Chains A and B, each alone.
Chain A
């Protein structure tokens, strides 16, 4: 391989400008294809990550709801520790649905009552504050709350304003009746969850506020759980559900938006294949570039054959040329793709309507796995595309090449 590489590098160095241009232009096609692939995969992965973060920042890596009354967080904690070492900690919650009322506007919402002392070790709504601060204590006898930015926008409420929440509490006497209970809150912060339906539905406050509102003492309905590796959680949830038994309902972050994640994963494969066609088309240029080399070096091919170079030596020599072009082009394409992805991330180059999509800015997540797949597939395509001209080169009879100087 060392000799083949030496021969190739010497040929490349000695090429005239016109031929070098042929190689550069052929490589440019591959570079552009790889750049497009990196950018599209980064966006798709970014969408995945954005929704994943939105979910885990609000409901943790896994959501466990106790189907019966009197949920005991400590009991669940000890059970989880026995089930898997990947489990870290939990925070209990209570989350009734209700409506929010302000200045004649009404919106359906979900109130997340979280335990102030443990919540921020498991979930991270505090990272999502865009206005005000994350505070869910009590101020002047009023419970504090933070809301998604769409709620604030639709109800025209600002930090420091008060608003009322009405929760239908099931009647103890009549099975199909409920009694509305009302609580007044003071807004301390506006959050951007990065997910449109969260932004227009979620209110976060303390567990005490919700328990007071519902008059349920210190009762919780379930807990948000944190694990060592968020990406491993979907694989664990089946086991956790089985071990915990029927009294618990277990949903990991992926299940909470199952259709979305399944669709995105499928779309990612389809987009990868579609954009890969740019690389496949560009690989024809690599193929013709190798072919030009074969024709130009016909004399040398002949002489190498007389010196004992086997057909397989020559095939490897020219396949190596195509593969090297693939390696260099992929590498440059990945660099350009990352730069372009950074530009998209840090400049609002693309405006996404948040009410149409579940997010309102183009997210970027550059994953080593995506880059590796792009690199391997591109190099493989260039490798395959150089086989045909390399085979032709190896088949050339030395007789003609040795006739003239």
Chain B
């Protein structure tokens, strides 16, 4: 996690320029993003808000290199991302980005520990090294008792904490979260919010969160609103 403690620079960690995304549906063109620009610096915590269908999730997935924009450019640490191959982007995601979604999306056939180990194993870490990292993180998140449990044996809050641990195990520079509390009750939702800010403080994490929750959004120093694919 040393990478996160490097001094911040004036160069944005993530920069998007003129992002557009158009889908064709039934022969009709549907413009979801209409030239979105964005600059996120190291240590930033940004909340993207907007009504349903505003393009928040599409933007987050493009920022996370899970989808490519129709046009525009994307830079990470000043280096262009969109001219990289799919395999190169996969490796980049593995090392530099963590994702948390509304639904935990844990792999049901694997235990909490194995789920967290997955990114490390994809990166080629040894079994022991992966296990050590995952155990450390599970203990940090207070889930050491749940290591051998499968997702269906855990509560919604625990599942989301395991998903967060999985997103953080590779010490990414950037954590992207799409409605991370959207599927949780208010108590567990609050716990996840606390966890996010605790992680940001302790690990110096850069956060981009998409949320409908105004109370959650108010805690972010930077809030941006998206409407019909554009900032307002």
Contact: B123 with A305, CB < 8 Å?
Answer: no
A311-B123 in contact given A14-B109, A306-B66 (Cβ < 8 Å):
no
Contact: B67 with A309, CB < 8 Å?
Answer: no
Shortest C-beta distance, B102 to chain A (Å), equals 8
Residue-by-residue, is B69-100 near A (CB-CB < 8 Å gives 1, otherwise 0)? 00000000000000000110011111100010
Contact: B121 with A402, CB < 8 Å?
Answer: no
Contact: A310 with B90, CB < 8 Å?
Answer: yes
Residue-by-residue, is B44-65 near A (CB-CB < 8 Å gives 1, otherwise 0)? 0000000000000110010010
Contact: A310 with B105, CB < 8 Å?
Answer: no
Interchain CA distance A10-B109 in the complex, whole Å: 6
| Interface of chain A residues 352 through 405 with chain B (CB within 8 A) | 397-399, 402-405
Shortest C-beta distance, A266 to chain B (Å), equals 46
Residue-by-residue, is A81-106 near B (CB-CB < 8 Å gives 1, otherwise 0)? 00000000000000000000000000
Shortest C-beta distance, A316 to chain B (Å), equals 12
List the B residue with the shortest CB-CB distance to A310. Answer: B90
Q: Tell me if B101 counts as interface (CB < 8 A to partner A).
A: yes
Chain A residues with CB under 8 A of B110 = 10
Contact: A305 with B66, CB < 8 Å?
Answer: yes
| Interface of chain B residues 168 through 196 with chain A (CB within 8 A) | 170, 178, 183
Contact: B122 with A309, CB < 8 Å?
Answer: yes
Contact: B91 with A3, CB < 8 Å?
Answer: no
A308-B93 in contact given A3-B122, A397-B67, A399-B67 (Cβ < 8 Å):
yes
| Interface of chain A residues 297 through 341 with chain B (CB within 8 A) | 299-300, 302-313
A303-B90 in contact given A308-B95, A399-B61, A402-B101 (Cβ < 8 Å):
no
Interchain CA distance A303-B119 in the complex, whole Å: 10
List the A residue with the shortest CB-CB distance to B104. Answer: A405
Q: Tell me if B216 counts as interface (CB < 8 A to partner A).
A: no
Contact: B90 with A11, CB < 8 Å?
Answer: no
Contact: B105 with A3, CB < 8 Å?
Answer: no
Residue-by-residue, is A103-146 near B (CB-CB < 8 Å gives 1, otherwise 0)? 00000000000000000000000000000000000000000000
Number of interface residues of B (CB under 8 A): 33
A307-B103 in contact given A398-B66, A399-B66 (Cβ < 8 Å):
no
Q: Tell me if A69 counts as interface (CB < 8 A to partner B).
A: no
Q: Tell me if A13 counts as interface (CB < 8 A to partner B).
A: yes
| Interface of chain A residues 6 through 50 with chain B (CB within 8 A) | 10-11, 13-14
Interface magnitude class on chain A: 20 to 34
Partner of B122, one of A300, A307, A311, A404: A307
Shortest C-beta distance, B184 to chain A (Å), equals 13
Chain A residues with CB under 8 A of B105 = 299, 302-303, 306, 402, 405
A310-B87 in contact given A14-B108, A404-B103, A405-B103 (Cβ < 8 Å):
yes
Shortest C-beta distance, A6 to chain B (Å), equals 8
Interchain CA distance A14-B93 in the complex, whole Å: 28
Interchain CA distance A308-B87 in the complex, whole Å: 9
Interchain CA distance A312-B183 in the complex, whole Å: 33
A305-B61 in contact given A3-B122, A404-B103 (Cβ < 8 Å):
no
A3-B64 in contact given A307-B94, A308-B95 (Cβ < 8 Å):
no
Contact: A308 with B107, CB < 8 Å?
Answer: no
Contact: A304 with B67, CB < 8 Å?
Answer: no
Chain B residues with CB under 8 A of A306 = 64, 66, 93, 99, 105
Interchain CA distance A270-B119 in the complex, whole Å: 49
Q: Tell me if B166 counts as interface (CB < 8 A to partner A).
A: yes
Shortest C-beta distance, A243 to chain B (Å), equals 60
Interchain CA distance A14-B110 in the complex, whole Å: 10
Interchain CA distance A305-B66 in the complex, whole Å: 8
Chain B residues with CB under 8 A of A307 = 93-94, 99, 118-119, 122, 166
List the B residue with the shortest CB-CB distance to A313. Answer: B122
Interface centre among B90, B92, B95, B119 (most CB of A within 10 A): B90
| A-B pairs with lowest CB-CB distance, top 5 | A308-B94, A310-B90, A405-B103, A10-B109, A310-B87
| 16 other A-B residue contacts (CB within 8 Å) besides A308-B123, A403-B57, A405-B183 | A10-B109, A11-B109, A303-B106, A304-B118, A306-B66, A307-B118, A307-B119, A307-B122, A308-B94, A308-B122, A310-B86, A310-B90, A313-B90, A399-B57, A399-B67, A402-B101
| Residues of B participating in the A interface, judged by any CB pair closer than 8 Å | 57-58, 61, 64, 66-67, 86-87, 90-95, 99, 101, 103-110, 118-119, 121-123, 166, 170, 178, 183
Could you name 25 residue pairs across A and B whose Cβ atoms are closer than 8 Å? A10-B109, A11-B109, A13-B109, A14-B108, A14-B109, A303-B106, A304-B118, A304-B122, A306-B64, A307-B99, A307-B119, A308-B170, A309-B94, A310-B87, A310-B91, A313-B90, A397-B67, A398-B61, A398-B66, A399-B57, A399-B66, A402-B103, A402-B105, A403-B57, A404-B103
